[in-house]
Amino acid sequence: MSQTPAAPPSSRRWVTLVVVGLAQLVVVLDATVVNIALPSAQADLGFSDGDRQWIITAYSLAFASLLLLGGRLSDLIGRKRTFVIGLAGFAIASALGGAADTFGLLVAARALQGVFAALLAPTALAVLTTTFVIPKERARAFGVFGAIAGAGGAVGLLLGGLLTEALDWRWNLYINIPIAAVAIVGAFLFVPAVTRTGPRPKLDVPGTVLVSAALFSLVYGFSHAETDGWDAPVTWGMLAAAAVLLIAFVAWQRRAQHPLLPLSIVLDRNRAAAYSSVLIAGAGMFGIFLFVTYYLQATLGYSPIQTGLAFLPMIGMLVVAAQLGTNFLVPRLGPKIMVPSGMVLGVVAMIYLTHLDASSVYVSDVMPPLMIMGFAMGTIMPASMQTATLGVDRQFAGVASAMVNTSQQVGGSIGTALLNTLAATAATTYLADHAPVTPEVGLDAALTSYATAYWWGAAFFGFGAILSVLLFRRRSQGLSLSHTPVAAEPVAVH
């Protein structure tokens, strides 16, 4: 493929970052912003407790299973076009969900959001990867993007509480429309359009079907384990199917003429370490969002808005760590030191949280571990995301970026299912050992279940620390973060 170096004007690159950041924000917001609205939506539409999980699961299933396809489509039909389609579709799906008058329509709208998020998320990261090629600018851009990716879930909790209490649960979906509208205008004006030369690559249809089915089965299996247990036939059946389909996908990629995911992308040690780190951090992070939210509301009696505000110090530390890391520490130390250091901080934060009880005080007992966790995520995510897309041929930037989002989604699904199951088992065991059940025993059982989740979250981060130390190459052995060995694509800025 013949390509000539070119880049958008300097002033426009930073506006492109704002546009990409808005797109990433709507995607990560919707992973948590709807959670706080669920009780109000349930009262309004009259669906059961058993059905409630599908409001969350429909989004994550569609999102996770189609991410690699979305990333590859951005490579094939153009990132600017895919970016705008993803934004417009996400806004339309959000409008349908906000206006839903039945449970079925709300679930369908959430699934449609997931479909367009699968287009949007990898394309946003790919636009960033191919726009910022100067090392210092790339570091700053990935610092901002990594901060949004890490903090978006906490922002969603805060925004969800504010919108639900001040307006209506439907505004948790409607809020995406103005954000997407601004991002669409910005995309038309500032995101560079790429002019492709040479023959257009073909889409790997068998590979797409195999990996989409595999990811769907994997996320569905873990989601089902969360609600029906690990011994349910559907749970282990779907997880077994996912394993078989993933093996078939890898076998097909080895012989496909136009592979969906060239195996060289994930077999590079640095990139494999980066994808693994994002997955493990995503799994451990849910121990914070899920169980701290339960603790603050059920044990300390916080309102949804108070719960969201409680996460603000965590967001602040995440942003500080992301900027400090990408601008100063990662270029000097590399991911082999930065990512394991962040994982160790994650262990510290989780262990700190195990000491929470009914008399704990926010300022001295809750805020410090949240701030430590914010610093941990701000250390892990930008360094991992930058490494995960570094050195990839630009024609595969979209699918390499999709692997980052896939890792985060799968990690979140695994973390939610495992930690929920372990916490529920701990609570059940505690109640059985402390009969008869009184309100005090019930409270202690809940606190025990939270502590169990935090200990296992600490184990996740501990495993991540060991794995990242072993996998990441030393800077002299691996890809330098100050070098991007790919040619820039010709661009035409509209």
Provide CB contacts within 8 A for 95, sequence distance 6+.
173, 174, 177
Token pair 């191919």: residue? 130
Q: Is residue 212 a contact partner of residue 69, using CB atoms and an 8 Å limit?
A: yes
298-305 long-range contacts (CB < 8 A, ≥24 apart) are 298/446, 299/358, 299/443, 299/446, 299/447, 300/360, 300/362, 303/161, 303/165, 304/36, 304/160, 304/161, 304/164, 304/165, 305/158, 305/161, 305/162, 305/165
Residue 225 lies in a domain: no
The parent domain of residue 409 ranges over: 10-203+260-492
Nearest one of 399, 386, 393, 390 to 3, comparing CA atoms: 393
- Predicted pLDDT at 464: 93
Distance in angstroms (rounded) separating the CA atoms of residues 303 and 71: 39
Residue 236 lies in a domain: no
- Predicted pLDDT at 350: 95
User: In the structure encoding, which two tokens stand for residue 154, read together?
Assistant: 């906490």
- Predicted pLDDT at 50: 60
Residue 240 lies in a domain: no
Distance in angstroms (rounded) separating the CA atoms of residues 125 and 143: 12
Beta bridge partners of 492: 193
Q: Is residue 123 a contact partner of residue 71, using CB atoms and an 8 Å limit?
A: yes
Residue 117 lies in a domain: yes
Q: Per-residue pLDDT tens for 72-81? A: 888 788 888 8
Other Cβ atoms closer than 10 A to 373? 31
Kindly report the length of the chain. 494
Residue 486 lies in a domain: yes
Residue 233 lies in a domain: no
Nearest one of 261, 273, 253, 260 to 479, comparing CA atoms: 273
Report the CATH number that the domain containing residue 151 is assigned in CATH: 1.20.1250.20
Q: Is residue 449 a contact partner of residue 494, using CB atoms and an 8 Å limit?
A: no
Omega before 8 within 30 of 0, i.e. cis:
no
Distance in angstroms (rounded) separating the CA atoms of residues 350 and 265: 32
**What total number of domains does the chain contain?**
1
Residue 215 lies in a domain: no
pLDDT truncated to tens, each residue of the chain (494 aa)?
Answer: 434 344 444 467 778 888 888 888 888 777 777 777 777 788 888 876 567 777 877 887 888 888 888 888 887 888 888 889 999 999 999 999 999 888 889 989 999 998 998 888 888 877 877 777 777 777 777 777 767 766 666 677 778 878 877 888 888 889 889 988 998 988 888 777 765 555 566 778 888 889 889 888 888 887 777 677 778 888 889 999 999 999 999 999 888 888 888 888 888 888 889 999 999 988 887 767 778 888 888 889 888 778 878 888 988 898 888 888 777 777 788 888 889 999 999 999 999 999 999 999 999 999 999 999 999 988 988 788 878 877 777 777 777 777 887 888 788 777 877 888 888 888 888 998 888 878 888 899 989 999 999 999 999 999 999 999 998 877 644 444 434 333 333 333 33
* Burial of residue 166 (number of CB atoms within 10 Å: 0-12, 13-18, 19+): exposed
Q: Is residue 112 a contact partner of residue 62, using CB atoms and an 8 Å limit?
A: yes
Residue 320 lies in a domain: yes
Distance in angstroms (rounded) separating the CA atoms of residues 224 and 338: 35
Calculate the average pLDDT of the chain: 81
